[in-house]
């Protein structure tokens, strides 16, 4: 109605001068994360990790105070462009940080590429982000779907498996994970006899579990996360397969889900760039600080958020706080060794972490580190022209 329409006009008119860009001394950080919906817990963990790094430095990065603007991306790619535009065009953020869902991250990457805004991705593993969509102003502090999966492919082959069946949801993240597993597994003498998948977000696994039993592989590789991972591990154990067909997975299968999975997850091997019990001094101090500040245990998402802030810190310090010096920022970060709770890592030319992938086993309520599956694994960055 008229009142609504007038209010909109007034509101936007008031916002317009604010949107005309102010040059304050604060660094404006735009957090685009899922605050509602299935991934809300991850969004919160990432933000917590990010803030912890900044708080450890007195709330400043490169001498400039930090200001946060948050947008809930609802993990919805069809609304992603509008949401990113809120941060880039309305709030004129200096840095974009986000997100969890790969589809949304792809949209963020596109906008970042088009506008030249600095983007640091604290989770979404879409290979394309440091592949065809790579750019000098886009960085990732987490992983690419390729990395944990490829590492598991090697581990599984070396553990004596020859015939594998993969199972995942039918979507990009699942496909990329299974593909990388296959690459490593077959390179090491194994053979993937069948790829099973089910539509996202269905969690009715029984039919496929029966199928696995009839195929009788040496092992099963899976990629599931969140609620789907909890149900899969429980169903796999209840179907009796856990005793006879070893289950291997990308780390998300058992990350943040062990409480819910209980005894059904005991003994499962997974690969990830982080584990609950690394025991290094760096990790211990991080975990202590996180637990003290948030009264929660950190997880891989918190670490990724923390390291996103680290990357920003390293780059910003190198350009003495002048974030418009994009090329110098990139050079500094590319050359840096990032002292992360997960261990020291560097960024590849495509700006994806080159990191150790740990082999972990579930012992009690923890993902205990069993060793390093692959040291310094880099994503092949296929399609990246930088």
Tell me whether residue 101 or residue 360 sits nearer to another protein (CB atom).
Answer: 101
Write the CB contacts of 87 (distance below 8 Å, at least 6 apart in sequence).
30, 32, 69, 71, 93, 96
- The residue from 56, 183, 211, 328 that contacts another protein (CB under 8 A) is 211
25 binds another protein (CB under 8 A): no
76 binds another protein (CB under 8 A): yes
Q: 298-357: which residues touch another protein (CB under 8 A)? A: none
Distances (CA, A) of 182 to 112, 150, 162, 222: 32, 8, 12, 11
Quick one: which segment of 48-56, 58-66, 203-211, 372-380 binds another protein (CB under 8 A)? 203-211
Q: Which of 230, 158, 236 is nearest to 196 (CA)?
A: 236
Compute the least distance from the CB of residue 191 to another protein, in Å.
Answer: 20
- The residue from 116, 158, 238, 327 that contacts another protein (CB under 8 A) is 238
Q: 239-258: which residues touch another protein (CB under 8 A)? A: 239-241, 244-245, 256-257
284 binds another protein (CB under 8 A): no
Compute the least distance from the CB of residue 175 to another protein, in Å.
Answer: 8
Q: Which of 95, 17, 88, 92 is nearest to 54 (CA)?
A: 95
Q: 128-187: which residues touch another protein (CB under 8 A)? A: 128, 170-172, 175
Q: In sequence order, which ranges of 188-224 are alpha helices (DSSP H)?
A: 206-215
- The residue from 26, 110, 325, 368 that contacts another protein (CB under 8 A) is 110
* 100, 75 Cβ separation under 8 angstroms: yes
- Where are the extended beta strands (E) located within the chain? 27-33, 60-61, 64-72, 95-97, 118-121, 138-140, 163-169, 191-198, 219-223, 247-250, 269-272, 338-340, 343-347, 353-363, 366-377
Q: 81-100: which residues touch another protein (CB under 8 A)? A: 81-82, 85-86, 89-90
Local structure of 85: helix, strand or coil: helix
- The residue from 116, 189, 204, 339 that contacts another protein (CB under 8 A) is 204
């Amino acid at each position: 109605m008229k009142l609504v329409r007038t209010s909109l006009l007034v509101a936007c008119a008031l916002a317009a001068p604010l949107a005309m860009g102010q040059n304050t001394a604060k660094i404006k950080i735009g957090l685009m994360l899922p605050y509602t919906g299935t991934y809300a817990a991850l969004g919160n963990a990432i933000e917590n990790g990010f803030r912890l790094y900044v708080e450890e430095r007195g709330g400043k990065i490169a001498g400039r105070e930090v200001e946060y603007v948050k947008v809930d991306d609802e993990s919805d790619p069809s609304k992603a462009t509008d949401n990113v535009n809120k941060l880039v065009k309305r709030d004129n953020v200096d840095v974009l940080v986000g997100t969890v869902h790969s589809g949304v991250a792809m949209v963020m990457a596109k906008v970042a590429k088009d506008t030249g805004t600095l983007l640091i991705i604290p989770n979404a593993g879409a290979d394309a982000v440091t592949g065809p969509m790579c750019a000098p102003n886009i960085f990732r502090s987490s992983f690419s779907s390729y990395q944990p999966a490829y590492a598991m492919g090697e581990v599984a082959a070396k553990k004596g498996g020859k015939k594998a069946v993969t199972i995942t949801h039918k979507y990009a993240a699942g496909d990329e994970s299974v593909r990388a597993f296959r690459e490593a597994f077959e390179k090491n003498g194994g053979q993937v006899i069948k790829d099973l998948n089910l539509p996202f977000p269905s969690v009715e696994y029984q039919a496929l579990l029966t199928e696995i039993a009839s195929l009788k592989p040496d092992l099963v590789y899976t990629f599931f996360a969140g609620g789907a991972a909890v149900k899969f591990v429980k169903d796999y154990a209840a179907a009796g397969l856990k005793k006879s067909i070893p289950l291997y997975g990308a780390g998300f299968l058992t990350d943040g889900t062990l409480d819910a999975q209980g005894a059904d997850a005991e003994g499962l091997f997974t690969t990830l760039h982080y584990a609950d019990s690394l025991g290094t001094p760096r990790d211990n101090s991080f975990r202590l600080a996180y637990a003290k500040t948030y009264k929660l245990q950190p997880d891989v998402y918190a670490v990724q958020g923390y390291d996103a802030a680290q990357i920003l810190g390293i780059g910003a310090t190198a350009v003495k706080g002048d974030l418009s010096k994009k090329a110098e920022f990139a050079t500094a970060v590319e050359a840096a060794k990032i002292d992360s709770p997960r261990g020291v890592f560097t960024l590849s030319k495509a700006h994806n972490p080159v990191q150790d992938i740990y082999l972990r086993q579930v012992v009690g309520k923890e993902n205990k580190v069993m060793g390093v599956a692959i040291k310094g694994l880099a994503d092949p960055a296929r399609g990246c022209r930088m």
